[in-house]
Amino acid sequence: MADPSSAVWATPDIVKASITGLALIVAVVSILNAKAIAKKKQTADLLFHIRTDDLYINSVRTVLGLHNSEANIRLWATEESKQDTDTVEKVQHIRYVLNHYERLSVGLQEGIYHEGMLKKSQFGTITKTYDCAKPFIEGIRERTKSDTAYQEFEWLAKRWEKSPLRKKKKKG
């Protein structure tokens, strides 16, 4: 009778190839799953950070508050040297929030953040901020003679406006 320990070595090549293939599939699935979890963790970290970033919170409030004011924020983007201290501070807030969303948009495009999580939590803020800041962005583009200023933020806001959040259906 053959030694049972030698049976492994006598296994047909097709079985060995199948086991190797299965191991490869498990490894690939594990890597993809780890990548998806890392992306969600990175997004959660960002969301928790912005909840405590006072400058970000004040900057968003400034931009949204300017929307209903009579201030010409497009002009603020082109005539920085003629601004009083209060206006300079507001411009700094506008730039801070626009730069934040520009970086966030690039991170989404590069696969660093989970778009679904961000959209569910930031849809209204991002789309409203874009609408309110659009004159300022246009002024920057006019002054710099460059259409690329804040283009990634614009891409994100328009993308989300085309497919807004849908109301969840009630369970039960």
Whether 143 is in a domain gets the answer yes
| pLDDT range class, residue 57, cuts 50, 70, 90 | very high
Rounded mean pLDDT of 83-93?
A: 87
Rounded mean pLDDT of 31-59?
A: 93
Whether 27 is in a domain gets the answer no
Rounded mean pLDDT of 62-75?
A: 88
The token duo for 30 is 């594990």
Of 131, 120, 172, give the one whose Cα is nearest residue 153. Answer: 131
| pLDDT range class, residue 1, cuts 50, 70, 90 | low
Query: Position 109: which residue type?
Result: Q
Query: What does the DSSP 8-state code read for residue 115?
Result: H
Whether 20 is in a domain gets the answer no
Whether 28 is in a domain gets the answer no
Number of domains in the chain: 1
Are the beta carbons of 150 and 134 closer than 8 angstroms?
A: no
Whether 151 is in a domain gets the answer yes
From start to end of 25-108, where are the E strands? none
pLDDT of 63 reads 94
d(CA 115, CA 126): 13
Domain span at 138: 39-162
Whether 19 is in a domain gets the answer no
With a CB cutoff of 8 Å and minimum separation 6, the contacts of 75 are: 139
42-46, 63-67, 69-73, range with greatest mean pLDDT: 42-46
